[in-house]
A and B are shown apart, each in its own frame.
Chain A
């Protein structure tokens, strides 16, 4: 695969985040190219989650720049970045646990539907979003992740694995250009992992996926490109096979 010629979807330049004396992310130049699943791996505390938090705007950088589709997004709020298409899916599920599954997904759907409205009406764009359209879209996304029929159920009462799927449905409903999945398989059973792997494969046909993952089997199954982080810096990059054969990576992370 020779994608190096392609224009990058997302890139960071000298991106740094310091917490007091600790440098969680250190001068990282990260590049993500479209149309492939990109995974970030690394030991605990390597700075993976901090890096994606910087990318999606949950955390402000100490220094450095981020650009997305050629535009500098360093100064944009996290809400603006979602509107631009960078959607983050939480490591620990963060659904609205007191609300129904329908409300959870509808919340995400309606923003996307509103953004698609052209022009303005007297009452503003919100009046142009109909509940019937929302309903239709909610069913579509729930079906896509394999959760059809749970609309009326309170999200907090779903089994953990299903909450993760609901989280994915909410992210898809936001209309992402880049979907960031932070340890999606953590805490899931074997069968659920297999199911989710297939789902991510399916999603990646239409959406760019950035995956943070501990489970190496999942990474090597899914990823087209892997970035290895250690101590806040990028240690190595390449195809899964290249990474597997990289001595530095083996020493720091893969163990033997």
Chain B
């Protein structure tokens, strides 16, 4: 039963990724660029969902991890003249340390207290970037265009911000995240995380040290968010504080809830729909947040489980 679900979901996700691969040859320039951006942000949402959807922990400070990866990679390139790969690894290592330290503190709390602690840490990180503006370039951020080397494939040089490079790297990142999430959710560890979401104290009384598993989920989610941030810095050659702001912590919550918390592929749909919704409405009115808010309220009334959550309940029971 489980094996069949795994095969179905890999086929389903594979189909969607294949579709995304083919789309790059069809899409006009504008949408080509939008979809690249969506795939990087969706990777962030997939990482976020790992904590919210599967472990049942809601964080209001995930921008910290995204920005930590982004700044570590960007500043690494700027000051240490790291290569792109070096910067990516540096960003990953930095967020790994940050999320581990953060988890050791924050996981002593739960529920609303956890939410507040994550919010405080997130804001502290954001304000620190502004405070150390001589080193981080504060509110202005900085461009990596002049500092980043070129990508060499078969003796040909490409810029990392080349649309095709950008698109395919974003696709690789998303593919890796979806695959890793799926494999974890079908493993014994995934079963424990879901159990923690459903009933933490009962899980503890089945002999699991719940704290370690929550720490694992948090570190994985944080580090993956950081890698997405580092990738964003490389592909869009810009590092800025907007990615550390509170709204960048709230966005992945909305994307995840819209797409379906606790479904591997849901965050991709949530991110895509929300991105285009904002894109279209902000062309009509500057008050696009009002419309987004209304859509979310309707969504929560009619589909509280999100798009994929509802689909799973009705038809696709095998969906992870």
Give the B-binding residues of A (Cβ under 8 A): 56, 58, 77-80, 82-83, 88, 94, 96-99, 102-103, 106-108, 110-111, 114, 126, 129, 131, 134-135, 151-152, 170, 174
Q: How far apart are the CA atoms of A78 and B203 in the complex, in Å?
A: 10
Q: Are B204 and A79 in contact (CB under 8 A)?
A: yes
* B1 touching A102, Cβ below 8 Å: yes
Q: Are B209 and A79 in contact (CB under 8 A)?
A: yes
Are A94 and B206 also in contact (CB < 8 A) when A106-B191, A131-B2 are?
Answer: no
How far in angstroms is the closest Cβ of chain A from B4? 12
Given contacts A96-B202, A152-B1, contact A111 B208 (CB under 8 A): yes
Please indicate the chain B residues that have their CB under 8 angstroms from the CB of A103 in the complex. 191, 194-195
| Residues of the B chain whose Cβ atoms lie less than 8 Å from the Cβ of A82 | 205-207
Inter-chain contact B205/A56, CB cutoff 8 Å: yes
Contacts A94-B202, A102-B1 aside, 6 further interface pairs with beta carbons under 8 A come to: A77-B204, A79-B209, A79-B210, A98-B198, A99-B195, A134-B188
Whether B199 is near chain A, meaning CB under 8 Å from some CB there, is: yes
Cβ of B192: which chain A residues have Cβ within 8 Å of it? 107
Pairwise interchain contact B205-A58, C-beta atoms closer than 8 A: yes
Q: Is B146 an interface residue (CB 8 A)?
A: no
A57 CB to closest chain B CB (Å) equals 8
Would you list which residues of chain B between 199 and 230 have a CB under 8 Å from chain A?
199, 201-210
Q: How far is the CA of A97 from the CA of B202 in the complex (A)?
A: 11
Chain A residues with CB below 8 A from B1, complex form = 102, 151-152
Which residue of chain B has its CB nearest to the CB of A134?
B188
Please give me the residue from chain A that is nearest to B2 by CB atom. A131
Assembled-state Cα–Cα distance A110/B192 (Å): 10
- The CA of A174 and the CA of B191, in the complex, are separated in Å by 15
B195 touches A107 (CB 8 A): yes
Q: Which residue of A lies closest to B209 (CB)?
A: A79
Q: Which of these, B188, B194, B201, B205, contacts A110 with CB under 8 Å?
A: B188
When distances are taken between beta carbons in the complex, the residues of chain B under 8 Å from A174 are: 206-207
Q: Name the interface size band of chain B.
A: 20 to 34
A interface secondary structure, majority:
helix
The secondary structure that dominates the B interface is helix
Decide yes or no: A96 and B195 within 8 Å by CB, A82-B206, A111-B208, A174-B206 being known contacts.
yes
Closest CB in chain A relative to B198 CB, distance in Å: 5
- CB pair A107–B206 under 8 Å, yes or no, is yes
Residues of A close to B194: CB separation below 8 A: 99, 103
Q: Are B188 and A96 in contact (CB under 8 A)?
A: no
Is B286 at the interface (CB under 8 A from chain A)?
A: no
Asked whether B314 is an interface residue with its Cβ less than 8 Å from the other chain, the reply is no
B187: interface (CB < 8 Å): yes
Within 8 A of A (CB), among B168-196: 187-189, 191-192, 194-195
> Does B156 lie at the interface of the complex (its beta carbon under 8 Å from any beta carbon of A)?
no
B3 interfacial contact with A, CB 8 Å = yes
Q: How far is the CB of A73 from chain B (nearest CB, A)?
A: 14
Known A-B contacts A82-B207, A94-B202, A152-B1; A126 and B189 likewise in contact (beta carbons under 8 Å):
yes
- Min CB distance, A142 to chain B, in Å? 14
Query: 4 tightest CB-CB pairs across the interface, nearest first?
Result: A82-B207, A110-B188, A96-B198, A79-B209
With a cutoff of 8 Å between Cβ atoms, the chain B residues found around residue A126 in the complex are: 187-189
Alpha-carbon gap, A97 to B192, bound state (A): 15
Please give the distance in Å from A123's CB to the nearest CB on chain B: 10
User: B206 to A108, Cβ gap below 8 A?
Assistant: yes
Nearest-neighbor residue (CB-CB) of A129 within chain B: B188
> Chain B residues near A134 (CB, 8 Å)?
188
Chain A residues with CB under 8 Å of B189's CB are 126
CB-based contact B198/A77 at 8 Å: no
> Once the chains bind, are B205 and A88 in contact (CB under 8 Å)?
yes
**B198 with A170: CB separation less than 8 A:** no
* A112: nearest chain-B partner, CB-CB: B207
Selected A-B contacts with CB under 8 Å, 29 pairs:
A58-B205, A77-B209, A78-B205, A79-B204, A79-B205, A79-B207, A79-B209, A83-B207, A88-B205, A96-B195, A96-B199, A96-B202, A97-B198, A99-B198, A107-B192, A107-B206, A108-B206, A108-B207, A110-B188, A110-B191, A114-B188, A126-B187, A126-B188, A129-B188, A131-B2, A134-B188, A135-B2, A151-B1, A174-B207
Residue of B187, B202, B203, B207 ringed by the most chain A CB atoms within 10 A? B207
- CB-CB nearest in chain A for B208: A79
Closest to A57 in B: B205
In the assembly, what is the distance between CA of A78 and CA of B204, in Å? Answer: 7
The contact string, 1 if C-beta is below 8 Å from chain A, for chain B 74-95, is: 0000000000000000000000
